[in-house]
Amino acid sequence: MNWNGKDAALVEQQKNYIDTVLVPLVPLDFGKEFRQSAEQYEFIGLLADFLERQFKGRIVVTPPYAYVPEMAGNAALWSQKARSAAFKHVFFLTADSMWRARENELGGSVILVPSVPLGNMEESVKYSLISHQAKQLVQMVVEKWQENME
């Protein structure tokens, strides 16, 4: 489900089935990493869209959580709130490798994907690249649901 009024109404009705929150997690930088942070945002956004379409009936995709380093840890508040509103699973989708070491802080599963700079790529090339990446993610998401059940 997307973050809009129509989908949100469905989420409220079907909370038993739509039990997962996916938070795109993107670093924000205005200096040296400016371009890289924009690229990650673009890439993660496209992947999140793809996953939303694949798992529309079970996952709701939130607005991205964007952070400067000092704010990174606050992402945990999102998962905390989501859980206390009875969402069973919280997934964070990110290309920021820092989270590899800090997954435990977040209170959710981290799906870490290496970012691909999309630059001026043509739409169709972009699409096939993203869908290739996303196909592997699909399997990962299904596995995370199973792990979390145990």
Residue closer to ligand FES, measured from CB, 3 or 17: 17
Tell me if 14 contacts ligand FES by CB under 6 A: no
Residue closer to ligand FES, measured from CB, 126 or 144: 144
Distance CA 132, CA 150 (A): 29
Residue closer to another protein, measured from CB, 58 or 83: 58
Least separation, in Å, of the C-beta of 117 and another protein?
20
At residue 115, what are phi and psi to the nearest 5 degrees? -75, 145
User: Which burial class, exposed, middle or buried, applies to 26 when counting CB atoms under 10 A from its CB (0-12, 13-18, 19+)?
Assistant: buried
Q: Are 106 and 76 in contact (CB under 8 A)?
A: yes
Q: How many helices (H) and strands (E) does the chain have?
A: 5, 5
Q: Which does 18 bind (CB under 5 to 8 A by kind): another protein, ligand FES, none?
A: another protein
Q: Which residues of the shown chain bind another protein in the complex (CB under 8 A)? A: 10, 14, 17-18, 53-58, 123-124, 127, 131, 138, 142
